[in-house]
Amino acid sequence: MRLDPKVAAWAIAGATAIASPIVASWEGKSNDPYTDIVGVRTVCYGETRVEMRRYTDAECLAMLNKAVAEFANQVLQCTPILANHPYQLAAATSLAYNIGVGAYCRSTVDRLFDAGDLKGACDQFARWRMAGGAVVQGLVNRRKAEAELCRTGL
């Protein structure tokens, strides 16, 4: 399914506005690089794809908004049905930001969204609760919040 570029732009803007504060709240912020729970070098709001150096608050916020928009765009490429579902796109974007776009696009969440089963897709968020081979309570909590966001308007 090919999306109209204007529809995609509106969907990405809406998802970014909804998802950025949520991603920020779950990722937390460190202006200085640190090693995360699974040993990945990270900075700002969970960013792993940039130079590992100290960033200002403004740089971290700009980086977050840019990254969330990029993730929303990639999620929309996998799941075009979400163009007309801003809360579900925002929730899927938060999930993809945390697990990676590749994992998201191969997930049951994506498959159920593609099948039109929005509620079923939202219910699958809870499966993504492990890091380093163990259940992490912070991920359990995050997935619960993402699933609640996902169910908004359904």
The active-site residue out of 4, 27, 51, 123 is 27
Contact 71, 93 (CB under 8 A): yes
Give yes or no: 47 in active site: no
The active-site residue out of 36, 59, 70, 123 is 36
DSSP 15-75: HHHHHHHHHHHHH--EEEEEE-TTS-EEEETTB-SS--S---HHHHHHHHHHHHHHHHHHH
Long-range Cβ pairs for the range 121-125 (8 Å, 24+) = 121/88, 121/92, 121/150, 122/88, 122/91, 122/147, 122/150, 122/151, 122/154, 123/147, 125/91, 125/95, 125/150
Give yes or no: 117 in active site: no
Contact 128, 99 (CB under 8 A): yes
Positions marked catalytic: 27, 36
